[in-house]
Amino acid sequence: MRKEDKLALTKDKLLQAAIKLMKETDNPGRVTSRAIAAEAGVPLGMVNYCYGGRENLLYEAFASNKDEYLTDGRFTEIMERDIAPKEKIRELYYLVADFLVNEYKYTRAITGHILMNRDLKEGLTSYPLVKTHYGDAREEWEIRMITYELSSMMQLVIYRLADMDEYLGMELEAKENLHRLIDLQVDLLLQDVQEDVRGDEGA
């Protein structure tokens, strides 16, 4: 077997082992590199060699679960729907937030790592929609900041779900309340373009 193929096989073994162990525990964040390597039947050092660390591997395991959820047709249906970019963003955040709450034990385990280490050039699906919404009414850096704030705020709120329930006085586990919170964020950050421009000029 070629070295590249052997490495790919080892990476997959580690990934599948991480997925299995994360599903079997109530606290995936406590799954150790040693346990993953033992389950995969590979040397402990391969966790760092293949993934750069335990947190990256746990994130990849979580991401594979999320990608499976988002490729069941609902994501594509939203993107192809003939609605305004702002409404597509709203629907996308409904979809993703529902997943993050439903899979909270995974979300809690990896969200801190994502917020601190995510590559800002990748993974912000809503960026082209925010850009289309504002057109030339906002500068590029403003569009990027708005996109980042939308994503990070949702992740942070769900990461601290129990604390936010108490702080807001409503249970975000209830889909209706979660969607109301998303509506608030989307409407605050993606204002009507004409209103947004007038507001800047009047400031």
Return d(Cα 58, Cα 105) in angstroms, integer.
12
Return d(Cα 147, Cα 149) in angstroms, integer.
6
Non-local CB neighbours of 120 within 8 Å, separated by 6+ positions? 148
Return d(Cα 74, Cα 53) in angstroms, integer.
32
- Domain containing 155 equals 72-202
The per-residue pLDDT for range 95-125, each reduced to its tens digit, is: 989 988 988 888 888 888 888 877 777 657 8
Stretch 42-61: mean pLDDT: 93
| Whether residue 94 is found in the same domain as residue 190 | yes
What secondary structure letter does DSSP report for 30? Answer: G
| Whether residue 112 is found in the same domain as residue 167 | yes
Torsion of CA 173, 175, 176, 180, to 10 degrees: 80
| Whether residue 32 is found in the same domain as residue 79 | no
177 falls within a domain: yes
User: Over 50: is that where the pLDDT of 24 sits?
Assistant: yes
How many domains in the chain? 2
Closest by Cα among 148, 117, 123 to 54? 117
Answer yes or no: pTM beyond 0.75: yes
Q: What is the token pair recorded at 42?
A: 């590979």
- pLDDT for res 69: 59
64 falls within a domain: no
Return d(Cα 2, Cα 16) in angstroms, integer.
21
